[in-house]
C-alpha cells in the first residue's frame, strides 16, 4: 500500500511539473532547439552578405530571421500570442511605412528589414517546449558555430585574431585593433574591392555576445558547456567594449552577484571569491584603469555625434510637429534613436506610440530586475538583461534605432521567457527554500 501511494504521488508530481521545468535532465524539444540554434548562431553575423535585393543587402543574420519566420507553423504555439511590446512595434513600423510613402518612399528597404526582424522576434516569442535545458543545449550548439564564422572571416582576411587581440591589450592601441584587425575581418567576404562594412559593425557583434552571456548566465547550472559560453562571452564583450553592450553587462553582473551572495548556503565561498576579485582588480588597477579610460575616451566622438543628431532632430520636430518629414538623415547618418527618428519621420503621434514602446520595455526590464532580487528566479534575470539591451539599442542603435539583429532576438527571447515564467513559491525576502535555489544563478 505504501509503495502504491508513493508511485501515485510520484506520477502526480510528474504530471504537474510545469512546462518550463528547470531540472537539468528535463525533456527537450528538438525542433525548438534547432530554431533557437540557427537564430542564435546567425544573429551576430552582420558582415556576411548573401545577395542584394533592391539596394538592400541580405546577410546571414537576415537569413536566420527568415528561417525562424518560415518555422513558425512547426514550432509556434497553436494560438499565436502577440506580446504588447511586439504589437506596439508593428503599429509604429507601419506608421513609419505610411510616413515614408507620403514623403517619397525613401528608406522603405530599411523598414522592410525591421519588419522582418520584428516578425522573427514574434516567432521566437511563440516557440513551444521551452525549458532551461532546451535553452542551454541551443547555446552550446550555436556558440561554437558563431565563433567559427568569426574565426573563418579573420582567416579569409589574413588576420591573426588572437595575436591582434593580445597586441591590443598590451599596447592599448584601439585604433589599430579596430581598423586594422576588425574592419578587414568584417570585409572578408566583400568582393567589390570597396570597404563595405564599417568599424561600427562591432556593436552588433558585441550585442550577439551579450545575448549569449545573459542566457548562459541564466542557465549557469546546466553544465560546463554553458559555463564556458558565459565566461568567454564576458571576456569578449570586455575586449570589444561597445557601450551598448557594456552597460547591460554591468547591470546584470551586479544583480547576479547580489543574489548569488545572499542565497549561498555558505558565506565563505562568495566572500572568498569576491575578495580574490578585489585583490586581482587592485593588482591590475593601473592597466585596467588605463584600458577603461582609453575606451571611454575613444567613445566620446561617437557620443558627440549622437548629441549633435539629437539636437538637430529637435529642430526638425519643431519645424514639422504634426506630420513629420519622412525619411531623413542628419550629417549623413540616420538618427540613432528610435523615438526621435520616428517623431522626425512621422510626427508627434507616431512619436507617442514609440515612447509607449520604450516605456513598456524599460518597465518590463526594471520590474524583472526587482523581481529577481526578491525571488531569485532565473527567468527574471534573463528578462531584465535582454529587455535592457533592447532598450539601449532602441535608444542609441544605428539605422534609426529600429529593431534589428541581436536586439530583435533579445526582444523575442525575453517575451518567450516571460510567457513561460512560472509563479514563484512564497518565501520571505531573498532567503529561498532549497526547492527554489535551483532557479537562481549559483557561483
Per-residue pLDDT of the chain (443 residues; tens, 9 = 90+): 444 444 444 443 433 334 333 334 344 578 888 899 999 998 888 888 887 776 677 888 888 899 999 988 887 777 788 889 999 999 999 988 888 887 766 767 778 888 999 999 999 998 887 888 888 999 999 999 998 888 888 888 888 888 888 888 777 777 778 888 888 888 887 776 555 777 678 888 889 999 999 999 888 888 888 889 998 999 888 888 787 888 888 888 888 888 887 776 655 555 555 555 555 554 444 455 555 555 555 555 566 666 667 777 777 777 776 777 777 777 666 778 888 888 888 888 888 999 999 999 999 999 998 988 888 888 888 899 999 999 998 888 777 778 888 989 999 999 998 887 655 544 444 444 433 434 444 33
Domain assignment present for 290 = yes
Is 256 inside a domain boundary? yes
Q: Is residue 9 one of the residues assigned to a domain?
A: no
**Count of domains forming the chain:** 1
Q: What is the pTM of this model?
A: 0.82
Cell numbers found for residue 369: 530586475
Is 235 within the bounds of a domain? yes
Domain contains 100:
yes
What's the domain range around 180?
22-439
Is 51 inside a domain boundary? Answer: yes
Residue 3 located in a structural domain:
no
Q: Using CA atoms, how far apart are residues 391 and 362, in angstroms rounded to an integer?
A: 7
Query: Does 331 reside within a domain?
Result: yes
Amino acid at each position: 500500500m505504501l509503495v502504491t501511494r508513493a508511485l501515485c504521488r510520484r506520477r502526480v508530481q510528474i504530471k504537474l511539473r510545469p512546462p518550463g521545468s528547470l531540472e537539468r535532465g528535463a525533456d527537450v524539444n528538438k525542433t525548438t532547439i534547432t530554431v533557437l540554434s540557427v537564430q542564435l548562431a546567425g544573429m551576430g553575423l552582420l558582415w556576411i552578405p548573401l545577395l542584394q535585393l533592391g539596394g538592400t543587402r541580405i546577410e546571414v543574420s537576415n537569413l536566420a530571421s527568415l528561417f525562424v519566420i518560415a518555422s513558425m507553423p512547426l514550432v509556434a504555439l497553436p494560438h499565436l500570442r502577440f506580446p504588447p511590446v511586439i504589437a506596439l512595434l508593428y503599429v509604429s513600423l507601419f506608421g513609419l511605412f505610411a510616413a515614408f510613402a507620403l514623403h517619397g518612399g525613401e528608406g522603405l528597404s530599411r523598414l522592410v528589414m525591421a519588419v522582418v526582424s520584428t516578425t522573427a522576434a514574434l516567432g521566437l516569442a511563440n516557440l513551444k517546449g521551452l525549458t532551461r535545458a532546451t535553452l542551454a543545449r541551443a547555446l552550446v550548439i550555436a556558440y561554437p558555430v558563431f565563433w567559427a564564422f568569426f574565426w573563418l572571416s579573420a582567416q579569409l582576411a589574413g588576420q591573426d585574431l588572437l595575436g591582434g587581440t593580445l597586441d591590443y591589450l598590451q599596447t592599448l592601441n584601439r585604433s589599430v585593433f579596430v581598423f586594422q584587425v576588425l574592419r578587414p575581418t568584417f570585409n572578408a567576404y566583400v568582393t567589390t574591392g570597396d570597404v563595405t562594412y564599417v568599424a561600427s559593425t562591432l556593436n552588433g557583434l558585441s550585442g550577439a555576445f551579450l545575448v549569449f552571456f545573459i542566457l548562459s548566465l541564466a542557465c549557469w547550472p546546466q553544465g560546463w558547456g554553458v559555463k564556458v559560453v558565459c565566461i568567454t562571452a564576458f571576456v569578449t564583450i570586455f575586449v570589444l567594449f561597445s557601450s551598448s553592450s557594456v552597460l547591460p553587462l554591468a547591470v546584470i553582473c551586479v544583480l547576479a552577484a547580489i543574489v548569488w551572495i545572499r542565497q549561498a548556503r555558505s558565506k565563505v565561498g562568495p566572500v572568498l571569491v569576491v575578495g580574490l576579485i578585489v585583490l586581482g582588480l587592485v593588482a591590475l588597477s593601473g592597466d585596467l584603469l588605463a584600458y577603461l579610460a582609453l575606451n571611454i575616451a575613444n567613445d566620446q566622438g561617437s557620443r558627440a555625434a549622437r548629441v549633435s543628431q539629437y539636437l538637430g532632430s529637435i529642430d526638425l520636430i519643431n519645424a514639422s510637429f504634426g506630420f513629420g518629414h519622412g525619411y531623413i538623415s542628419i550629417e549623413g547618418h540616420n538618427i540613432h534613436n528610435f523615438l526621435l527618428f520616428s517623431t522626425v519621420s512621422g510626427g508627434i503621434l507616431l512619436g507617442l506610440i514609440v515612447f509607449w514602446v520604450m516605456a513598456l520595455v524599460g518597465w518590463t526590464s526594471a520590474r524583472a530586475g526587482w523581481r529577481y532580487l526578491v525571488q531569485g528566479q532565473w527567468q527574471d534575470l534573463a528578462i531584465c538583461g535582454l529587455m535592457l539591451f533592447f532598450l539601449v539599442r532602441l535608444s542609441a542603435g544605428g539605422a534609426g534605432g529600429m529593431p534589428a539583429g541581436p536586439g530583435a532576438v533579445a526582444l523575442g527571447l525575453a517575451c518567450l521567457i516571460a510567457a513561460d515564467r512560472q509563479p514563484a513559491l512564497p518565501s520571505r525576502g531573498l532567503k529561498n527554500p532549497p526547492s527554489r535555489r535551483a532557479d537562481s544563478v549559483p557561483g
